[in-house]
Amino acid sequence: MSKIKIENVVASTSLDTELDLQSIALALDNAEYEPEQFPGLVCRLKDPKTAALLFRSGKVVCTGAKSVEDVRRAVNIVTQRIEDAGVKVNREPDIQVQNIVASADLESDLNLNAIAIGLGLEHVEYEPEQFPGLVYRLSDPKVVVLLFGSGKLVCTGARKPEDAQRAVEKIRDELSGLGLLT
């Protein structure tokens, strides 16, 4: 069984109120707000190491987390700091995971040309002149996996860590079944 490592969790939520980003930027010491460059306020946290993007509409996007629990902690910290700055917000917002990026190692060199043929060209993109990895689009779970000749892979598009783990196991089983995993 290949163990996945979550590299990034991106999630979004709403604080159910319009935000005055200028005043929040002044109240928070870890905030960057340059509306000419980007319409949102960027609030960086050290623990958990994340960035929360706050928008005037009250929408929040959290990125950089290594787990869903880190996303929850980051959103709690940011909402607490906003409240401490005098802005009333929804303290228990509904957090939606948008994307999980995970990596894994199949611990075997891969022949990507053989894999492209074996998995079927309708689900695979492989153009080594353009990109050194093979792009494999799975329908269940609905994720995209980048496979590299080193045996390493990157899974993106998962909404739950279990989906990334399932994708890796499914690929391992498919490649073993085709005799392409040594």
From 79, 97, 115, the end of a domain falls on 97
Question: Is 1 within a domain?
Answer: no
pLDDT in tens for each of the 182 residues of the chain?
Answer: 689 999 999 999 999 999 999 999 999 988 999 999 999 999 999 999 999 999 999 999 999 999 999 999 999 999 999 999 888 898 889 999 999 999 999 999 999 999 999 998 899 999 999 999 999 999 999 999 999 999 999 999 999 999 999 999 999 999 999 999 97
Distances, alpha carbon 163 to alpha carbons 20, 40, 62, 84, in Å: 37, 30, 20, 37
Domain that includes residue 126, residue range: 106-177
In a domain, 159, yes or no: yes
Residue 135 backbone phi and psi in degrees, to 5: -100, 120
State whether 34 and 60 are in the same domain. yes
User: What is the CA 96 to chain-centroid distance, rounded?
Assistant: 12
Same domain, 113 and 169: yes
**Domains: count for the chain:** 2
Same-domain pairing of 93 and 34: yes
CA nearest neighbour of 12 among 39, 48, 50, 47: 50
- Does a structural domain hold residue 29? yes
